[in-house]
A and B are shown apart, each in its own frame.
Chain A
Amino acid sequence: MGRIEDTLRKKGLTGLVKHGSVVSLAPARALSSHARRVYREKYQNAYKYPRWIFAFDTLLVGIAAILLAFNLSVFLESYKRAESGLDLELKAPPLIAADETPLELDVRSTDGKRHDGVSLKWELPPWVEIIEAVPKMDADGFVDLGSIRPGETKSSRLLVRIRARAGTKAQIGFVLSQYDPLFFALDYPGSETRLVERSALNSSAVLSQANYPSEASVPVVVRNDGRLIARAVSLRLTKHEGAPDAGFGTTDSFSIGDMAPGERRLIYIKLGQEIGRSIALGWDLQDGAQTVESTELKIKTSASDGVRIENAVFGVDGKLKIDYTSALAAEVWVSCAATSSVSSPWRTFDIAQGSGTVVINETARQEGSACEIIPIDLQTNTLGRQVTAMKGNTIPFSASARYYGMSGDQLGVGSLPPRVGEKTTYWVIWSVGPSESDLQNAEMQTVLPSGVAPTGKFASATPGTFRIEGQTVIWDVPLLPLGGGEKLTFAFEIGIQPTETDAGRILELVGTSSFTAKTKNGLELKAETVGDDTNIHSDDLGRGRGMIVE
């Protein structure tokens, strides 16, 4: 065992450390051993001052080695930095965020030579999403262009989606690689900086010049002017000076969800109690959690009783009737479509001085649709109190008893059809939505028929409180996040154990269920839905197997 290993052993170095040390020190040991042997054989007894001469010679050899290494290094660097012989041209239209943007990089041989193994790696900012690449891009981001003959042009084309604010500088980088017999691959990096000019996903306040009353809502229209579905669009309030409670109900952000090309959405920023005569609002519009637009808005506040909406209801004929009182000539601003593809999803109606009714034909609106109505005093350009008219003052709400789930999963347990003396359980599922906005303080309840008992099992992924009070089943939900277009469900399990007198009958499982909630504007919504019986009408697999058997 050599001295190095002895030393390592004494120092307690073992395993990988020992192995690494031995490997790294071995060449040094060999070199010094060789130098000592040369010294003994050729210098020790050949000169008067052998040590000085040996040191001088060693120094010369060292200098020669350093010069050689330096020259070699300079040569290699200059070789690597030599012109690639390829010409690159980036073609890109003005960059627009939240829209599909084509990028093209043309590579042409300009030195009259054939270039083999040419590949290209795009180096794009992290907020640039590649939708499509021609030719295909591999997992490491390389596009293989193959060989490029003299005069030939090859292109790499990308279709990208940019998620950045207007004014952001996008550094579009690329690394061109080509095969070289000496180095196998030589890289030629480059980049160009382009400006993101605007965003196809944008927003603006609809009544930006108006004076707003206390606790008003500021309508903001969000537009998708691009050609792509905008994913996970949201509006985030970043500034609300003069209106400390401003927001979207209980949160500072509002999730719109996906927006189709051309789609418009009306979102309302609730101001709350203002504390000054002017309010500075700011919000970020986000596409896939990346901000693509930041907007600031200054609005003045002013109390105005010049015009007000006395009542706004949908009549039995389906028409929206708005009763107003106005001291002077005024307007009513009406929007009945939170989602629309028309450029301005609202209308204004002139109203004369005095009292009157505006009738709008909205018969095509579905149950649960909401119309937002804002009166405008034209003399002072001041808005009156906003009113929401809900068609039917309800939203989709249903109750169904299920033995099987949608995809065939068995949810209930026990005989089907139910059997005398045996317990059969079902799940009752309340379904709410979809709706165009979140709801607050929701309560769902039903009184179970006698003979039907809740088992105590319940389920919902939406935060809330489930209670059983005797035969009454209640679900309280502080916030129903329906704005994303989803349907929310609240489920609980019930059981029946039929007696002999039930044989041959169909038993009621759940009676009428009621639903109440409030909109962001404080409008109370109510809905009722019929119950279900052992024939479980909405259950495709279990339907019709409700007659009790012995």
Chain B
Amino acid sequence: MPRRYQYWAALALALSLIRPETTWAAKGIPGSPAIINLYLNWQIKEEDLPALARWDMLVLDANQQARYPDRLRKLRQLNPSIKILAYIPSEEYATVHLTEPPEYPFAKLGARIREDWWLRDPQGNRVYFWPGQPMLDVSGASRGGEAWNAFLPRFVRDEILSSGLWDGVFLDNTFEKLSDHVKAPVDIDRDGRADAKDQTDRIWRLGMQDMLRKMRDMNPGAIIMGNGGGIYANQLNGVLYESFPSWSWAPNWKDLRDAISKNQAPSVTSINVNTNDADRPGDYRLMRYGLGSALTAGAMFSFDKGAWSHDELWWYEEYEMALGAPTGAAKIMAGASGQSVVPAVWGRSFQKGLALVNSTGATQRVQLPGVFEKLRGSQDQKTNDGALVTAVDIPAKDGLVLLRRSGPTEIRDAAFVNGSFLRVYDATGRQKQNGFFAQRTDAPSGAMILATDIDADGADDLLVGDKGKIEIKWGTGKTSSFQPFGKAYSGRLFLAAGQANRDRPKEIIVGRENKPPEVKVFSATGKELARWFAYNASFGGGVRVAIGDLEDSGLRQIVTGAGAGGGPHVKIWKTDGRPWGGGFFAFDASESGGISLASGDVDGDGKSEIVVGSGRGAVPRVRIYDGKGRLESEFAVSDKPLIGGIEVGISDVDEDGKPEILVGGLPAI
């Protein structure tokens, strides 16, 4: 191939590997609630960075670019998807900033504020909305020079966004009406008389619109968010509704939805729900009320103490729920009827769940459109009890986020015995959801099942290993089959699938039971690519197989485990059968009931771990090893010995981006 074509081919391949990311997936959990933290503490502690990096969007004081530039960069390292906005008031200036080092943005800003920019009353005094922070005149009056509403966009461009540390700017107090916030008389035209409120409000609004237009023109591509002022929603990427609902839920929520529909893309309109400056992180009802309101409207969500203390790191388990994209608009599900925005139980469906908010003053019972599973939480265990529900009672001013019931069709990339009872754990041994019967009706009971995209065509294929034969039900509807160990073998097969070479389709790795421990690797077309004995060929206990990327190198390794009769010996191989690393005993060497195996990144470090399940007759437990055979963690799933042993698998059952550990073989009753 001519060299110039090679470059184009390489570029095309590279582009094909780029996968679209969900816009707000900062936590690494696709489709989880979009959350924003108004973290206006003047300090950003080094030890708080990992916690802060969990939010999708942060609003930080603009001075942080001079105070902690490295910490801002570290936040991006910890969370490459995070959006960071610089906080700057649009209409006032805290004079305390004048004492700051001159390189601080607010000190620079203060040094450049002209006397005629201050908003004044008829007596010539400065006007205040917040103590210590005189207001500036947003009207656009130039008074012989550049107006404040023209200066600020230029300042943001030259002194803030030019630092390269920010994604945009958060403009505080983008009031719609000055008179709603300032009760004192105001003299905008400087004629020594108080101006009429209607006139003042109109001039203020026009001036603010002019400022936002200039801000957009001078800072293309930046996220521009305002605090308040739904009237400016079409000029902004987002409007913050602070202390939501500020007076009444229904009109507030309607304004919220309207603002989102008008926003420039991407919309970051958010609500801030707070405890009215009380230190009540455990007010889960209030948090859920706000989160339900945000999710049903399609807004981002913030929960903290309030306007006097926007600097909390409060974290809730609901933030980590992988709901996926919304599948429709919000609708009334109980408490009222019709389409009008009135207090009711509003619900919105997502690909993987349902968000509800009860904005009425009474508990409402809601019939759900199917079976949903409550969060199995540790914070508010009474509400998040992990129950499977088809109807729920939601107290007044409360919300609830539910996940759709996971089932056997959600098990991808992990082999399991069809019809077995499966439980789902995280890497620490915490059970994440109710166990369930994993019975696919499109395959026989007792068969080994593995659903994965073998041929890399974007559609899942189904591998069914039964009586010595592998049948592949392709996503295209076609079926093919082969017998990996020939016609003479009609026993149980152990399956794994992964990229064992450099082509795009996955390869199929197969072991068998109660026979010599021969591992075979097949292409998607059933062509044998490699075979070897993982243990002594005279050993007749069979071999378990798994495949993973144990060192995050992009190359996969095949992991084997000895079947019943041998010790719990794990070995690691290159995909062509050459030894890759040493072996180790996953359990006490005297346990000869065999082991089950899986490999995947269960701790989020980028490397696959080796997950091992204990064998026949042992107290069922799971151990997690790294690629070097070092024990990372372990947990028991029962305290009674199990005749048949357990089967482990790894699959992202809830599609939260973190694979779970599946444990089969446990009795349901």
List chain A positions with a Cβ less than 8 A from chain B: 126-127, 129-132, 139-140, 161, 163, 229, 231-232, 234, 253, 257-258, 286-291, 400, 402, 405-407, 409-415, 419, 422-423, 427, 429, 431, 457-464, 484-487, 489, 491, 538
Contacts and interface: CB of A to CB of B under 8 A. Distances in A.
Contacts of A410: 386-388, 434
A423 B565 contact: no
7 contacts: A139-B629, A231-B564, A232-B592, A410-B386, A410-B434, A413-B389, A459-B421
B640 to A, nearest CB: 10
Nearest to A409: B435
Contact of B539 (A126, A412, A462): A126
Nearest to A463: B446
Contacts of A486: 643-644
B227 interface: no
Contacts of A163: 565
B152 interface: no
A131 B591 CA distance: 9
Contacts, number: 155
B666 interface: yes
Nearest to A164: B538
A414 B638 CA distance: 27
A301 to B, nearest CB: 30
Contact of B669 (A423, A429, A457, A463): A429
B535 interface: yes
B444 A257 contact: no
Interface in B376-401: 386-391
Given A413-B389, A459-B419, A289 B590 contact: no
B418 interface: yes
Contact of B514 (A289, A429, A489): A289
Contacts of A231: 564-565, 592-593, 616-617
B594 to A, nearest CB: 8
A549 to B, nearest CB: 13
A406 B419 CA distance: 17
Interface stretch (B129-137, B581-589, B606-614): B581-589
A210 B142 CA distance: 121
A538 B668 CA distance: 13
Interface in B506-564: 514, 535-536, 538-542, 563-564
Contacts of A460: 419, 439, 445-446
A406 B157 CA distance: 63
A464 B445 contact: yes
Contacts of B417: 461
Given A287-B565, A289-B514, A407 B638 contact: yes
Contacts of B388: 410, 412-413
B391 A414 contact: yes
Given A140-B582, A289-B563, A415-B391, A407 B590 contact: no
Given A288-B564, A289-B565, A415-B391, A459 B434 contact: no
Contact of A491 (B387, B418, B668): B668
B92 to A, nearest CB: 54
B297 interface: no
A411 B436 CA distance: 7
B445 A484 contact: no
Contacts of A288: 541, 564-566, 592
B354 interface: no
Contacts of B638: 407
B540 A126 contact: no
A484 B668 contact: no
A462 B564 contact: no
Contacts of B435: 405, 407, 409, 411
A274 B404 CA distance: 60
Contacts of B405: 413
A161 B418 CA distance: 35
Interface in B466-503: none
A409 B423 contact: yes
B497 to A, nearest CB: 21
A126 B535 contact: yes
A131 B588 CA distance: 9
Nearest to B629: A139
Contacts of A291: 540
B347 interface: no
Nearest to B374: A410
A231 B638 CA distance: 21
B434 A409 contact: yes
B42 interface: no
Contacts of A232: 541, 564-565, 592-594, 616
Given A459-B419, A461-B445, A289 B564 contact: yes
B437 A491 contact: yes
